[in-house]
Structures are given as C-alpha cells and as structure tokens.
C-alpha cells in the first residue's frame, strides 16, 4: 500500500512558490483521488491567512475531494491525541540532552497548527510532510515518518529542471 500524506501549510506554500498551480493541483489531485492526501482544518485556516495561491489549491482539493479535509472534532479520539501531542511538544521539545522550541514558539504562538499535523500523522500508514523543525522533531520522537517539501515534490513528479535555453530545432 502506498503511503498517504498529511500536509503542513509551509509545504503547500513552498510548492506554490516553486511550481505552477495547475501542476500542483494535478499532482495533489492524483493523490487525493486515491485518498492519499490529508489536510487538517487548521492548515486550511492558516493558509487562508498566509497565502492566496496555496489557499486556492487547498480550496480546489477540498471541493473536488472532500475526504482530503480532516476536521479534528469529527475523528474519534483525534482531539485527545492532539491534546496529548500539544502537552508534550507545545512549549518545548526535548531530544536527548538538547532542548528546542516547541510548536507554540513560532510566530503563530498557540494558534500554530503543527500539533494537528503530528496528531493526524499518528494514524497508521500516514507520513507527515513538513520542513518545520518542531514538527520533524515531534514526528521523530513519536515514530512518525516525516519528509520535507523537496522530497514530497519529487514524489509528486515535480522535480524536473526547466531548460534555460530553447531546444535546437531538428531539421
């Protein structure tokens, strides 16, 4: 079974800054049609405040593939798992002898939705997609696979270098 992905808002912003919206919609749509993309309601809200392009992509996905949007209060025990994750990693994350800022130390403070990404990715066969250090550390400590946006872009097939020079005509 192919993995399914839980997307962080920064991943969608990075994709929208590097690729054409149509490419992203097509690639994510392919995964969403197989129920392999999940976006939390908090990520959707956060994108509404941060990025018109990325928010538009999410709006398209949610409209065409409604099962890609996860509402925390509608999934049994997910709210409890989110509360546990936020208690553990909200203020501070400890890895061995090192201490790192937790989810709430970001610019969004307690409105940060990083905990939603981690809690949702705890479900079997889900992979978190985030470049946020707090999310990546929490995933590591929770035993959750986590990839960054560049690895995810490669998974989507969005890794081709565009040619800078026009191709020579044959003839």
Is the pLDDT reported for residue 107 higher than 90? no
* Model confidence pLDDT, tens digit, residues 91-101: 999 999 999 99
Residue 163 banded pLDDT, cuts 50, 70, 90: low
Residues 6+ apart with CB under 8 A from 25: 57, 60, 61
Q: Which of 130, 120, 113, 43 is nearest to 80 (CA)?
A: 120
Is the pLDDT reported for residue 113 higher than 60? yes
Mean pLDDT in the chain? 89
Helix runs in the chain, H state only: 9-18, 21-33, 41-50, 52-64, 78-89, 114-121, 133-142, 149-156
What is the arithmetic mean of pLDDT over 142-170?
81
Q: What does the pLDDT read at residue 51?
A: 72
Q: What is the pTM of this model?
A: 0.88
CATH class, 4-156 region: alpha beta
**What is the rounded CA–CA span in Å between residue 136 and residue 129?**
9
Q: What does the pLDDT read at residue 91?
A: 94
Is the pLDDT reported for residue 167 higher than 60? no
| Contact call for residues 38 and 126 (beta carbons, < 8 A) | yes
What tokens were used for 121? 């990715």
* Model confidence pLDDT, tens digit, residues 13-35: 999 999 988 999 999 999 999 99
What is the arithmetic mean of pLDDT over 128-153?
96
């Amino acid at each position: 079974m192919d993995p399914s992905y839980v997307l962080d808002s920064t991943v969608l912003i990075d994709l929208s800054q590097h690729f054409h919206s149509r490419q992203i919609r097509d690639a994510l749509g392919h995964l969403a049609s197989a129920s392999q993309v999940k976006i939390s309601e908090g990520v959707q809200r956060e994108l509404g405040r941060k990025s018109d392009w990325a928010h538009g992509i999410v709006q398209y996905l949610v409209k065409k593939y409604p099962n890609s949007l996860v509402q925390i209060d509608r999934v049994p025990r997910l709210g409890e798992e989110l509360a546990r994750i936020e208690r553990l990693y909200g203020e501070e994350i400890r890895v061995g002898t090192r201490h790192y800022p937790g989810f709430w130390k970001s610019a969004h403070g307690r409105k940060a939705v990083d905990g939603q990404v981690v809690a949702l990715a705890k479900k079997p066969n889900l992979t978190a997609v985030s470049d946020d250090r707090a999310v990546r550390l929490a995933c590591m400590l929770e035993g959750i696979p986590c990839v960054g946006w560049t690895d995810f872009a490669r998974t989507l097939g969005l890794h081709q270098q565009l040619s800078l020079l026009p191709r020579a005509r044959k003839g």
